[in-house]
Amino acid sequence: MGRFRTEKDSDYYKVVDDAINAYTWAAIVKLQERGVVGEVLGPVGQGKEAKIILARRGDAYAVLKVFYPVPVRFVKSRYGYILGDPRFRGLKISDQLHLVETWCRKEFGNLARAHAAGVRAPKPYGFYRNVLAMEFIGVGKTPAPQLVEVGLDGLDDPDHVLSEVLKSLERTYVVAGLVHGDLSPFNILYDGRDPWIIDWGSAVRRGHPKELEYLRRDVERVVEFFGGPAPPEELFKRLVERGAWRGPLDFDGEGWLLIGGRRLLD
Ligand SMILES: Nc1ncnc2c1ncn2[C@@H]1O[C@H](COP(=O)(O)OP(=O)(O)O)[C@@H](O)[C@H]1O
Ligand SMILES: [Mg+2]
């Protein structure tokens, strides 16, 4: 994995990227010491409140999502998702750093749940403080573009991509018991064949007071991008019905969830 960089190297990374301050750097070193990632290679993505950095992981790559310990707008935009989430009941958020770390832990937990449910989401590798390590989605060192950059016309097989998004959407809700909450073509990456759903910090567990509002919005954005496969309200209703199923879960050979022997779109 090459030598681990030490605190002294933080000057080097200040040059590479100001976002990696000493506090963040110490968290990255911790992840290296734990063997979660190896050498840090540099930024490959930029989000609203996070920076995405490519790192080595054995013979392959991983990304580090670095959440900035940030201004009040972060607190405001995130607070609603954490309040009302049963996992964060009783949590007292005393300072912004604490909130950013909570957010990072929440995204890790959501990713782990989604990934275990067979959702097309990056595999989470670990996290420490404000840094989350996960599977790199891309080819070689080039990150996969967002669906919004590719556009519907840029997809090799739009029907296939839509099917994969729908399978993941349903698995998220019915199998993982989550609602993504910020699903849109900005948070779906396209690797040239398949879609990958990223950015799970906003996801809520079922039972959250805004569960249905977020689910409806997620469905609407998917239908809006693909122009189908059904009116959003109908797809939403089916998902909610299927989510109420309490029997055993079954899947067919193509990975569709079967409920009473039927697919979402039968
Ligand atoms: N696992 C990943 N593999 C490759 N690129 C990624 C990955 N996660 C994020 N990115 C890139 O970084 C950008 C921001 O990530 P995202 O999780 O959406 O952050 P934000 O919460 O700030 O929107 C994405 O649009 C994408 O281009
Ligand atoms: Mg995003």
pLDDT, tens digit, 9 for 90 and up, residues 145-175: 999 999 999 999 999 999 999 999 999 999 9
How many whole angstroms separate alpha carbon 191 and alpha carbon 41? 21
Sequence-distant (≥ 6) Cβ neighbours of residue 196 within 8 angstroms: 120, 121, 122, 137, 144, 188, 189, 190
Q: What percent of the chain is helix, strand and coil (3-state, nearest 5)? A: 40, 20, 40
137 CA to centre of ligand 1 in angstroms: 9
Across the chain, the runs of DSSP E, i.e. the strands, are 40-46, 50-57, 60-67, 124-128, 131-135, 138-139, 142-143, 178-179, 188-190, 195-197, 204-205, 250-251, 257-258
Per-residue model confidence (pLDDT) at position 79: 64
The catalytic position among 59, 95, 159, 199 is 199
What is the pairing mode between strands 40-46 and 138-139? unpaired
Tokens of 104: 């990072």
At residue 14 the predicted structure's pLDDT band, cuts being 50, 70 and 90, is: very low
What element of type H or E holds 241? helix 232-243
Per-residue model confidence (pLDDT) at position 13: 42
Q: What's the pLDDT tens digit per position in 191-246?
A: 999 999 999 999 999 999 999 999 999 999 999 999 999 999 999 999 999 999 99
Domains and CATH numbers, the chain: 7-139 (3.30.200.20), 143-258 (1.10.510.10)
The catalytic position among 17, 182, 194, 218 is 182
227 CA to centre of ligand 2 in angstroms: 22
Per-residue pLDDT at 15 exceeds 70: no
Binding pocket residue ranges, ligand 1, CB within 6 Å: 45, 47-50, 52, 63, 65, 122, 134-138, 143-144, 146, 187, 198-199, 201
Per-residue model confidence (pLDDT) at position 11: 46
Q: What's the pLDDT tens digit per position in 98-120?
A: 788 899 999 999 999 999 999 99
Q: Compare 89 and 136 and report the one with higher pLDDT.
A: 136
Per-residue model confidence (pLDDT) at position 18: 53
Q: What is the dihedral of CA 95, 80, 91, 31, to 10 degrees?
A: -70
Q: Compare 67 and 12 and report the one with higher pLDDT.
A: 67
Which residue's entry shows tokens 């990456």? 189
In ligand 1, the atom with minimum distance to the C-alpha of 199 is 17
How many whole angstroms separate alpha carbon 218 and alpha carbon 15? 38
3-state secondary structure string across 51-74: EEEEEEECCEEEEEEEECCCCHHH
Q: Is 17 one of the annotated active-site residues of the chain?
A: no
119 CA to centre of ligand 1 in angstroms: 17
Per-residue pLDDT at 5 exceeds 70: no
Tokens of 14: 């200040």
Q: Which amino acid is at 38?
A: G
How many whole angstroms separate alpha carbon 100 and alpha carbon 243? 31
- Which residue minimizes the CA distance to atom 22 of ligand 1? 47
- Which residue minimizes the CA distance to atom 14 of ligand 1? 47
Give just the sign of the alpha carbon dihedral 60, 29, 198, 16: negative
How many whole angstroms separate alpha carbon 136 and alpha carbon 142? 9
Per-residue model confidence (pLDDT) at position 100: 85
In percent, how much of the chain has pLDDT > 70? 82
Residue 62 vs residues 33, 106, 126: alpha-carbon distances, Å: 15, 19, 11
> Whole-number mean pLDDT of the chain?
88
Which residue's entry shows tokens 């409140």? 49
Per-residue pLDDT at 2 exceeds 50: no
How many whole angstroms separate alpha carbon 260 and alpha carbon 251? 11
Q: Is 199 one of the annotated active-site residues of the chain?
A: yes
Cβ pair 257, 174 in contact under 8 A: yes
Counting ligand 1 atoms within 8 A of each CB, the residue from 41, 48, 52 with the most, and so the one to mutate, is 52
Per-residue model confidence (pLDDT) at position 23: 82
In percent, how much of the chain has pLDDT > 90? 76
Per-residue pLDDT at 52 exceeds 50: yes
230 CA to centre of ligand 2 in angstroms: 25
**CB count, 10 Å around CB of 178?**
25
Per-residue pLDDT at 49 exceeds 70: yes
